A and B are shown apart, each in its own frame.
Chain A
Amino acid sequence: MSVKINLASSLHHLTNDQAVVEVNGNTIGQCLEQLIARFPRTRKRLLEKNGALNRIINIYINGESVSPEGLATAVKDGDEFHIEVIISGG
């Protein structure tokens, strides 16, 4: 399944300034693992030590939010992710 991952600007320094990365995976979790395999520095930002989604990360698939427990959610060819990072300034 070819899936396009759009990364928040604040993550681009971890992906050699790539804003969009294409991966192949059957679930959201598999797609994230492929992203991490290609850009290992993203692991610490995206996942907790126990493999759960980092609490400061939000994932949206085809424009809709995915629950933190939704890493096992199946994806289909052509799906598009957005990975956003929580911000808190005012």
Chain B
Amino acid sequence: MLSQDERERYDRQILIKGFGEEGQAKLKKAKVFIAGAGGLGSVTATYLAAAGVGVIRLVDHDNVELSNLNRQVLHWDEDMGKKKADSAAEKLKRLNPGLKVEAVKEKISQANISQLVAGFDLIVDAMDNLPTRYLMNKVAIEMKIPFFHGAVHGFEGRAMTIIPGETACLGCVYRGAIAEGKFPVLGVTPGVIGCIQVTEVIKYIVGIGQLLTNRLLVYDGLNMKFSEFKVKRDPNCEYCGHSRGKESR
């Protein structure tokens, strides 16, 4: 049930066909886990907060540094040295006081991931490395929590939506890992990809549209091209190969 203030705040999206107050109420009930409060995390958390999701748990153990500020738009000059999770949570609460934000200042690991995501409706991938992404993909499959992948590099981005037990997962698409460390990125690239991830999350929660499942979206900002590749479930995938069953959504 929405309050009068909520009806007014979300009026423009409630007007969207298929969305309505019912869709808004679904967003209000949703509990979203965001892994990372960097470039993708800033954008996904901002737009999910503005859209009216009920709870966001934002996990990041890093501190804000000057070199983050070209793209991690929830962190400002005055925030340098603060924990990113705290810096982000403070802005999100100011953006939307109706939102419940949980700032978790832990490093995601094999030891804590299951506990961190327990009770959440979906996981947003806003990480900066592949090993943690594979770990989240594994837990998402095991706990049957939808997983919204995004990645960026320079002018390039990727996005894909994973519905455990139904669609291709990250392990069906990627196999390798890339050396961690400093990577080039233009600030707007996580802006583009993060907004695509949020679009997917909102569609999933509200139950409208066609999800980016079994399809990898490849964004090339330098040549301003979006390409889409069909991805098949890998029967031998180490993450989801054993859980085949339902038809793709």
Contact = CB atoms under 8 A, between A and B. Distances in A.
Interface string B100-142: 0000000000000000000000000111111001000000000
Contacts of B154: 9-10
Central interface residue in A9, A86, A90, by most chain B CB within 10 Å: A90
Interface residues of B, number: 43
A56 B153 CA distance: 14
Contacts of B177: 55-56, 88
B185 interface: yes
A45 to B, nearest CB: 12
B229 A60 contact: yes
Central interface residue in A9, A10, A58, A89, by most chain B CB within 10 Å: A89
Interface string B50-92: 0000000000000000000000000000000000000000000
Given A55-B175, A58-B174, A65-B232, A90 B223 contact: no
B158 interface: yes
Contact of A88 (B126, B128, B216, B228): B128
Contact of B150 (A8, A86, A90): A90
A82 to B, nearest CB: 7
Interface string A1-45: 000000011100000000100000000000000000000000000
A73 interface: no
Central interface residue in B150, B177, B178, by most chain A CB within 10 Å: B178
A90 B229 contact: no
Interface in A52-90: 54-56, 58, 60, 63-65, 67-68, 82, 84, 86-90
Contacts of A9: 154-156, 220, 222-223
Contacts of A67: 234
B165 interface: no
B178 A87 contact: yes
Interface residues of A, number: 21
B173 to A, nearest CB: 7
Nearest to B185: A89
A9 B228 CA distance: 15
Contacts of B127: 90
B245 interface: no
Given A60-B229, A65-B216, A89-B183, 9 more contacts: A10-B154, A55-B176, A63-B228, A67-B234, A87-B157, A88-B183, A89-B151, A89-B185, A90-B128
Interface of A: 8-10, 19, 54-56, 58, 60, 63-65, 67-68, 82, 84, 86-90
Interface of B: 36, 38-41, 125-130, 133, 150-158, 173-178, 180, 183, 185, 190, 216, 218, 220, 222-223, 227-232, 234
